[in-house]
Structure 1
């Protein structure tokens, strides 16, 4: 008998282009470029095949041989997705949860689990990370986080195959952005309840917001220039920022130890 999937069905509300920021970040990640088997799992893909199909399209711009496996606990969603993508090579769908069932001996290089743990308790995060990361390639990563309904606000954790988190990334649509502190509403489950005085992530969000406000003097040069100015100020203040080449996209990555729960 096939074991039951581990976890609960997602809400299934993911829509077109909602995960574009995460997809593009994954597509440019060094682990995808280096691997001999560019299999990426979309865990909890939702009510249709839209997000796995978009993910495959974006991955193939940097890895034409990339393949995607979409996993959902709800068997009706799996059947629907198979029908929607039946003529698309390189994509498949199966029933599964945090145990990440993959046919044969293959292991994914990336597991994307967006808007999945949001419906769980913070105490459930470590076990879920451990289960998923145990299925990765030795150099693989788990990308776990949340975003708003239209993908303009997104945050995610990069977690290694050892289930140890490495970085937090905040990605925002800069046009019309009033305050980057809005990202606090979409922090990963491991951090969202820690945005309070005394916690590291609260200090980071407050610093991000403060430097954005201070950079208002360069706003006439455009929001990207303002964002770069704010990010440089964060770096100068000692925040351990990573992947600076992505600042132009309204992103900032910071090492996990700088935001980890106390």
Structure 2
């Protein structure tokens, strides 16, 4: 346990299923699926341990040996989550009593027992209160605790988990991919994600920046595909993403991911201009 965790406590906002889109992304990641030690850290989980329980439940459907370690700077939050875990162990919740979850105090230094390194570190809604200039150092600090092929997933979502975006960072602390993830059923415009961009991008949504150009183009293609709304929002989003790709945007993944309301591009496609 770290005596002086690096960072500041998060606001603590959390809720059931808030991070389900991000859970799904991690469960599909090669860094998790191929890990020799499938340890996943839920960093800054907030006032309740529920996101760690949900993450572990979803990951163990893919790998029974998956383990989640929840880390928080605030000792009171660690105590709360530990008490919740006791209820899980007693069979008093909907989560499996043998869920492989633990909680400890820690920040960006990501303390782990026995010299272990994480396959994945998830830090959602952690950097929102920091300055953009703090982001790279935070990435490097967290990435230093990853396994060699590990993955840091850092981003932001709304309070009910319908709008989210995140950045995949490798074990060297270098950003690799940007993903936005939207609930399509009641989506008005894809650019709503502008309010939930990661700290590295949220102040760059201005004319002349790449991420702004992406959101402008995505909104335009969403509007052009309005006629497909008759067949559902999913078909409309598929058409919009396909059109983006045809225009030269380096869209990754395929229709199976797009159907989930996900759009992923290489970091270079949206990275801030110097």
Tell me which interval the TM-score lies in, with the shorter structure as reference length. Answer: over 0.9
Aligned to 1:140: 150
Q: How many residues align?
A: 262
Aligned to 1:219: 229
Correspondence 1:247 to 2:258: yes
Alignment of structure 1 residues 83-232 onto 2, 5 Å: 83-86=83-86, 87=89, 88-89=97-98, 90-232=100-242
State the Cα distance separating 1:155 from its structure 2 match. Answer: 0.3
User: For 2:233 and 2:83, how far apart are their aligned partners in 1?
Assistant: 42
User: For 1:243 and 1:82, how far apart are their aligned partners in 2?
Assistant: 38
Residues 79-88 or 172-181, more deviating = 79-88
User: For 1:7 and 1:43, how far apart are their aligned partners in 2?
Assistant: 11
Aligned to 2:61: 61
Aligned to 1:14: 14
TM-score (norm 2): 0.94
State the Cα distance separating 1:79 from its structure 2 match. Answer: 1.0
User: For 1:209 and 1:57, how far apart are their aligned partners in 2?
Assistant: 35
Aligned to 1:233: 243
Aligned to 2:93: none
Corresponding residue SS for 1:138: strand
Q: Deviations over 1:160-191 (max 9, x none)?
A: 01111111100001112110010011000000
User: For 2:104 and 2:167, how far apart are their aligned partners in 1?
Assistant: 25
Corresponding residue SS for 2:268: helix
State the Cα distance separating 1:112 from its structure 2 match. Answer: 0.3
User: For 2:240 and 2:52, how far apart are their aligned partners in 1?
Assistant: 34
Corresponding residue SS for 2:9: coil
User: For 1:64 and 1:223, how far apart are their aligned partners in 2?
Assistant: 35
State the Cα distance separating 1:49 from its structure 2 match. Answer: 1.0
State the Cα distance separating 1:33 from its structure 2 match. Answer: 1.1
Please identify runs of 4+ aligned residues in structure 1 that moved more than 6 A: none
Corresponding residue SS for 1:168: strand
User: For 2:32 and 2:251, how far apart are their aligned partners in 1?
Assistant: 21
Alignment of structure 1 residues 15-54 onto 2, 5 Å: 15-54=15-54
- Superposition RMSD in Å: 1.0
Contact 2:2 2:105 in 1 (8 A): no
State the Cα distance separating 1:3 from its structure 2 match. Answer: 3.3
User: For 1:80 and 1:195, how far apart are their aligned partners in 2?
Assistant: 37
What stretches of structure 1 of length at least 5 have no aligned partner? none
TM-score (norm 1): 0.98
